[in-house]
Amino acid sequence: MLRRPLLVVALTFTVALSATTAPAAPRSGRSGRMVQVQRQQEIARLQKQLENARDALDRLGSKMARSESDLAEARTRAAAARQDINEASSAHKESHKKLEELEHQIIDQQSDDSEFAKALSALETAQHALDAEMHRILKWPAPEPGEKEADRLKEFGNLTREQRTTLKENAAYKKRQEELHDASDALNRAKTKLYSANAQWKRLHEEQIAADKAMTEAEHARGGASNDRLEADQSLRSAAEIRMSLQQSIQQLEGRIRSLGGRPDAPSTSKSPASSGKK
């Protein structure tokens, strides 16, 4: 809303100046008096345009001051948000590290006949069964005993499109996939039960959730501040262009008044920063 009205004013002054005719040569008698009257009327009209241009420049100065204040505030908020993000990120990393260490301790404390150990063994059995089923369907040699997880993943990743389609359409393979999925869910339930029973884990888990929330809020605040900063910066750039146009129009109006033998009216004593700067 800043650029269009003031820019229209600036363009109006420029067009008005270009449409002004040159003063007629001095004459005597009645025609001379008429020329003098016309000159005074033209000077009065230009003085009014000059006053309007200066008023527009003053209003622009107020708008620019507000934009500068908005820009400074947005920069401050963006800096504060960055600091909040750094603090939240550090808190998140620290809580995650402690939580992970505690989870390893809880798992290591489980006996071989615990619910978790049984669920883990069932998952490994289901994984080996799925791998063996894949080898059987694709007519590959049986997998080596104790095959590493990384080797299985690499083997699966190297399957061709046709091989994947064959497995996808095989009922026995689908059944093994469902068994693996069920075993994975059972293991997750066992882990959750173990962790939630530990008071220290619950406290660290809550700290991690709080850190995640703080980081999300800080990132949202930084995004809002960045948008406000961009908007204020664009407003200032636009206002600077309009100010230059108005200042040029004022100079031209003052020059035109002097060329007609008049003296430009003195500007108002209360000037905004934009209108009192260098021209």
pLDDT of residue 268 exceeding 80, the answer is no
Q: What is the pLDDT of residue 11?
A: 47
Are residue 212 and residue 241 in the same domain, yes or no?
no
With respect to residue 189, please indicate whether it lies within any of the assigned structural domains. yes
Q: What is the pLDDT of residue 203?
A: 94
Which residue range is the domain that position 201 belongs to?
94-219
How many domains does the structure of the chain reveal?
A: 2
Rounded Cα distance, 9 and 258, in Å: 22
Are residue 111 and residue 153 in the same domain, yes or no?
yes
| Contacts of residue 238, Cβ cutoff 8 Å, sequence gap at least 6 | 2, 3
With respect to residue 158, please indicate whether it lies within any of the assigned structural domains. yes
Q: What is the pLDDT of residue 276?
A: 42
pLDDT of residue 274 exceeding 80, the answer is no
Confidence bin at 232 (pLDDT 50/70/90):
confident
Percent of the chain whose predicted confidence (pLDDT) is above 90: 40
Q: What is the pLDDT of residue 122?
A: 97
Are residue 211 and residue 113 in the same domain, yes or no?
yes
Q: What is the pLDDT of residue 8?
A: 47
With respect to residue 267, please indicate whether it lies within any of the assigned structural domains. no
Residue with tokens 């301790």: 105
Confidence bin at 275 (pLDDT 50/70/90):
very low
Are residue 99 and residue 199 in the same domain, yes or no?
yes
Nearest by Cα to 19 from 57, 45, 48, 37: 45
Are residue 78 and residue 100 in the same domain, yes or no?
no
Are residue 74 and residue 126 in the same domain, yes or no?
no
If one counts every other C-beta atom within 10 angstroms of the C-beta of residue 17, the result is 16
Tens-place pLDDT, residues 73-120: 888 888 888 888 888 888 889 989 999 999 999 999 999 999 999 999
